[in-house]
Structure 1
Amino acid sequence: MLFPTLKKLYRVSIWAIMDIAVLVKQTVDMDQIKLNDENEPIMDNLPLKMDILSKNAVEAAVQLKEKYGGKVTGIIFGTERSTSTMKEAYAMGVDEGTVIKGYKKSDPMVTAGVIAEELRKAKYDIIILGDQSSDSYSGLMAGLIASELEINVITNAINIEIKDNTADITVESENEDVTVETDLPAVVSVAQEINEPRLPKVMQIMMAGKKNINIVDGNPKYEDDTKIISDKAPDSQRKKIIYEDGKGIDEIAKILKVVK
């Protein structure tokens, strides 16, 4: 019985030093966006918050730490205003964090290059992020960062299990869920179905406000060649049709049938 006990202790000692990175996206509150007379979004002075899927990513990272031991480092490519979002990540269980300044609606290639440069400063076992962001829905970031770091990437994950130097990742697909094995380190983007993000308690929020945040300048390795040509909401016009006689019932029934 001695050998299994030693084996168990050995596994614990490995994951006690597990380093987990979680990439956090800060976005404007989409519910607060209004349009000007030309149907263009008014983006000035909008409140900022952690992106929805970033909350799932933070929760996934913290759950791995709680299950296997180790440390979670949060990384945001944003501005000095991003410290509020990092404090929210702290309250959820992130241990330390870095805000990289210089984000200006950069294209995915620029963003991936900046974040990858920060990730190279440490040896992370797993890098977790949201599968997409609510402001662009490009879904490109995981693959681009993995390409920069020359490591494996798994996307749309709904479960993560660590086994020695590998991970079993369950991926949500259209027909059935598939579990794949990948060597570590790896980049894993998570779907919203992976978990229900925790709500920090008041004490956790207060303690998060006192923690230090490392703020650094971003050094893009690529030029931002992306230009937004147009950013307008589609015209929304409603037809007001009034039927004043009984024949209108048949017409209304036809319309409802088409809509259905």
Structure 2
Amino acid sequence: MEIVVCVKQVPDTTEVKIDPVTNTLIRQGVPSIVNPFDKNAVEAALVLKEKHGGKVTVISMGPPQAKDALKECLAMGADAAILVSDRAFGGADTLATSYTLAAAIKKLGTVDVILCGKQAIDGDTAQVGPEIAEHLGIPQVTYAAKVEVDGSVARVEREHEEGYEVIEVGLPVMLTVVKSANEPRYPTVKGTMRANRAEIPVWTLADLEVDETKLGLKGSPTQVRKIFTPKQRTQGVLIQKDTAREAVAELIAKLSEAKIV
């Protein structure tokens, strides 16, 4: 079974900074991590490989430092990794990103299952995975909590607000994986040593069969015009009384004035 996992290196959410001029994320000097949901996708891929055999390839589109994220996935147990990186890909929105990743997946040849995390924690759009499926013309199942494969059919438990849907779909298929699907394994010492020695190939614009007008900023129909932090508002009323009885009485009086009770 040929399995591909798309992963993204994202800024640590505690260190997110925005350039006020370009309205883009400041990545220099900011700690980066593997998108947490993508680790769930990697774990799901490794479980499928353990059950059915085959190969797990992780792909990321990003700057050269994204190799660190790919090496972490290799340390978890992935078999191969590819970085898709070129200045021409910079500034891409989800549509341009998914177009580029889909081109890279096509270059790999036959793929049975493509896995993504349900969303990235920096953009929170949950669009790239489904858009990859559209570019490739294959079925998709989002919010997968459990995946089983029997021959050429995948049986997926899809999580939603009211419970689960059980969906059967033919391969190849693209799945986005939720956090509740599994607990990502920790890299082993042996795996980490292997990952540190690995030479990760970098695919540039010259390596992909693409329409350059669909790449990067010029291929992105959505653009961020402005980002700002809303002013903090103080809400509520502080009630200070000598006893709890007096405080409760004051609270009830204020709720009555506001016509809440």
- Is the counterpart of residue 188 in structure 1 residue 175 in structure 2? yes
Q: 1:168 to 1:42 in 2, by over 3 A?
A: closer
- Name 1:3's counterpart in structure 2: none
Moved more, 156-165 or 239-248: 239-248
Q: CA deviation at 1:241?
A: 5.9
Letter of the 1:29 counterpart: D
Provide Cα deviations, 1:31-59, integer angstroms capped at 9, x if missing partner: 12357999x89724211110010110111
Structure 1 residue 250, shift from structure 2 partner: 3.7
Q: Distance in 1 between matches of 2:186 and 2:255?
A: 42
User: Kindly tell me: are residues 253 and 106 of structure 1, through their superposed partners in 2, closer, same or farther at Cα, counting changes over 3 Å?
Assistant: farther
1:63 aligns with 2:59: no
Report what 1:48 is aligned to.
Answer: 32
- Which residue does 1:96 correspond to in 2? 80
Alignment of structure 1 residues 230-241 onto 2, 5 Å: 230-238=226-234
The one-letter amino acid paired with 1:120 is K
Find the aligned partners of 2:112 and 2:179 in 1 and give their Cα distance: 22
SS of equivalent residue, structure 2 residue 101? helix
Q: Which amino acid aligns with 2:98?
A: A
**Counterpart position of 2:15:** 32
Matched residue, 1:224: 220
Matches within 5 A, 1:83-162: 83-102=67-86, 103-121=89-107, 122-162=109-149
Once the two structures are TM-superposed, the CA of residue 140 in structure 1 deviates from its matched residue by: 1.2
Distance 2:249 2:91 in 1: 51
The alpha-carbon distance between structure 1 residues 248 and 52, as it changes in their structure 2 partners (threshold 3 A), is: same
- SS where residue 177 of structure 1 aligns? strand
For 2:144, what is the secondary structure of its paired residue?
Answer: strand
Q: What is the aligned counterpart of 2:153 among 161, 166, 171?
A: 166
Cα distance between partner residues in 2 of 1:132 and 1:142: 8
- 2:36 counterpart of 1:22: no
Question: Aligned in 2, Cα 1:248/1:100: closer, same or farther, shift over 3 Å?
Answer: same
Instruction: Using the TM superposition, give the Cα deviation of residue 251 of structure 1 relative to its aligned residue in structure 2, in angstroms.
Output: 3.9
Name the count of aligned residue pairs: 241
| Worse overlay, 56-65 or 220-229 | 220-229
Unaligned runs of 5+ in 1: 1-17
Percent of matched pairs sharing the same residue: 29
In the superposition, relative to structure 1, how do residues 180 and 79 fare at CA in structure 2: closer, same or farther (>3 Å)? Answer: same
Query: 1:41 touches 1:232 (CA, 8 Å); kept in 2?
Result: no
> For the residues of structure 2 that align with 1:115 and 1:161, how far apart are their CA atoms?
25
CA distance in 2, matches of 1:97, 1:27: 17
Whether contact under 8 Å (2:140, 2:175) holds in the other structure is: yes
Q: Which moved more, 1:135-144 or 1:148-157?
A: 135-144
TM-score, scaled relative to structure 1: 0.83
- Asked whether the 8 Å contact 2:20–2:227 carries over to 1, the reply is no
Distance 2:251 2:17 in 1: 33
1:35 to 1:253, Cα distance in 2 relative to 1, 3 A: farther
Deviates more, 1:140-149 or 1:247-256: 247-256
- Bigger Cα displacement from structure 2, 239-248 vs 90-99: 239-248
Q: Which moved more, 1:236-245 or 1:250-259?
A: 250-259
- Unaligned segments of structure 2, at least 5 residues: none
AA of the residue aligned to 2:44: A
